Amino acid sequence: MNYELLKNCKLCPRECGANRLGGKRGYCLADDKIYIARAALHFWEEPCISGESGSGTVFFSGCSMKCVFCQNYDISTEGFGKEVSVERLAEIFSELQNQGANNINLVTPTHYTLQIKDALKIAKNNGLKIPIVYNCSGYEKVETLKLLEGLVDIYLPDFKYFDNSLAIKYSNADNYFKTASLAVSEMLRQTGGENIFDENGIMKKGVIVRHLLLPENIENSKKVISYLYTMFGDKIYISIMNQYTPIKKHNKFPELNKTISKAEYDEAVEFAVSLGVENGFIQDGETAKESFIPKFNLEGI
């Protein structure tokens, strides 16, 4: 692929315009090289993604969001990772398939869209057959998503905020709500608005939208859940997540120095049920632990 788009990079909604081909790093921390921090089977995604065999998860370094509460801070904000070529990335996809992965799970991939597209084409030509999962923040440009049409089977975006002031406060992401809404609509268009599972309950095609509850922000969560169900109905699965884990002390945002209370999470789930949400996933109370955060040790690279 011609990587000329990286000369004045506008792949993500920030449109920072960095000349990544000239060695400059964008807001996302990426230049024209690919950096990844881990490539291994992962068992802590939604049951229809991980299953018993695991999801072949590739964690990319850097991020176009860089939320202040990010659980993957070491790679998203500090940029830890190892450089790999497009050809090596394609090999990694095939290696994960050979390990029995249910899918290839691309985590925080947006800023590497062009290189990933090339790697997927190479891997598919070499026998990659399992579904491709695009696991992202939801802060996506429709134009960039269209570059992946026909290559991605499952979209797994976050939908973090209804309240734009929260998006600015925690993620410096103005217009997050509108941007994420348009992105989910495009994801549905590409997948045909249907969710397909195999005989073992593993998803083969579809859209799962995640919402992570943040402490003391239950009203934002209710608005997100209500919007998603009103707008998209049963065409998507809604994953309501309680796994928020404070990784570092937040002096500026003291409310983020604790986990979600059981009462907060129960209120969000009960609200979803009252709306009529049936296509969804919930978590038990043991997920808000640092032990559930993967070790970024360059495994599989």
Residue 16 lies in a domain: yes
pLDDT in tens, 195-231: 999 999 999 999 999 999 999 999 999 999 999 999 9
pLDDT the model gives residue 154: 98
Residue 203, domain CATH = 3.20.20.70
pLDDT in tens, 86-136: 999 999 999 999 999 999 999 999 999 999 999 999 999 999 999 999 999
Contact 225, 265 (CB under 8 A): no
CA dihedral over 274, 280, 283, 288, signed as positive or negative? negative
Residue 235 lies in a domain: no
pLDDT the model gives residue 291: 45
Residue 148 lies in a domain: yes
pLDDT the model gives residue 292: 60
Residue 266 lies in a domain: no
Rounded to a whole number of angstroms, the CA Rg of the chain reads 18
Give the C-alpha separation, 177 to 29, whole Å: 23
pLDDT in tens, 143-167: 999 999 999 999 999 999 999 999 9
Give the C-alpha separation, 8 to 21, whole Å: 9
**What residues contact residue 16 under an 8 Å CB cut-off, 6+ apart?**
9, 10, 26, 27
Residue 149 lies in a domain: yes
Residue 20 lies in a domain: yes
Q: How many separate domains does the chain show?
A: 1
Average pLDDT of the segment spanning 32-55: 97
Q: Which domain holds residue 129?
A: 4-208
Q: Which two tokens stand for residue 245?
A: 């884990």
Report pTM: 0.96
